Amino acid sequence: MDKFTVLTGIAAPMPLINIDTDMIIPKLFLKTIKKSGLGANLFDEMRYDDDRNERPEFVLNQPAYRNAEILVAGDNFGCGSSREHAPWAIKDFGIRCIISTSFADIFYNNCFKNGILPIVLPQEAVDVLTNDAEKGANARMHINLEDQTVTTSDGEVFSFEIDGFKKQCLLQGHDDISLTMEKGRHIDSFEDKHCEKYPWI
């Protein structure tokens, strides 16, 4: 998993509330177990019309936001079913950070396991960040995970809270598997001793 330390990038404003995981990646695209390729179908029903033409009014189709790495969203982002394809699609599109007033619990935790930083801030702060994002590609936000700060293009700084363990996992680029593999030597040693003691198992 890629480390997350600092990020300076374009932020796309999406102030819709209750964006669920089916809106993020419709069930039609859940057949794959690969993490790559899903970015093309991120927010599929909002991005494309019935003929697969891009809807020009959708924020990520607009030239200023095609390379967005930060999403400033409305309340209760990632609600609905627990599909991990949702953060896969977000990451594959290129978004590394989502800012909202609240997230659904399962989606929130899945973000950390896939190298995405979900930031919870009060509505007043999210409003300021949404307005900043609406300035377009010339307005770049700065995210510093070590300092736990979000800085607008005008230099206004907001601090956010984050669980210490999740923070360290992102800073070091660890998911559940890599955390386990760090203990590989101890696991191998235990298995060797276990086999010696119980050779019939």
What percent of the chain has pLDDT above 90? 77
Residue 42 to residue 145: CA distance in whole angstroms: 25
- The predicted-structure confidence for 129-140, as pLDDT tens digits, reads as follows 999 999 998 889
Task: Confirm whether 41 is domain-assigned.
Answer: yes
pLDDT band at 57 (very low <50, low <70, confident <90, very high): very high
For residue 63, pLDDT over 90 is answered with yes
Task: Confirm whether 44 is domain-assigned.
Answer: yes
pLDDT band at 177 (very low <50, low <70, confident <90, very high): low
Instruction: Identify the CATH number of the domain in which residue 137 sits.
Output: 3.20.19.10
- pLDDT the model gives residue 88: 96
Q: How many structural domains compose the chain? A: 1
Task: Confirm whether 1 is domain-assigned.
Answer: no
Q: Report the SS3 class of residue 121.
A: coil
97 compared with 82, residue with greater pLDDT: 97
What residues make up the domain containing 82?
6-174
Task: Confirm whether 155 is domain-assigned.
Answer: yes
Mean pLDDT of the chain, nearest integer:
91
Q: Where are the alpha helices (DSSP H) in the chain?
A: 21-24, 44-47, 85-93, 105-113, 123-133, 164-172, 176-181, 184-197
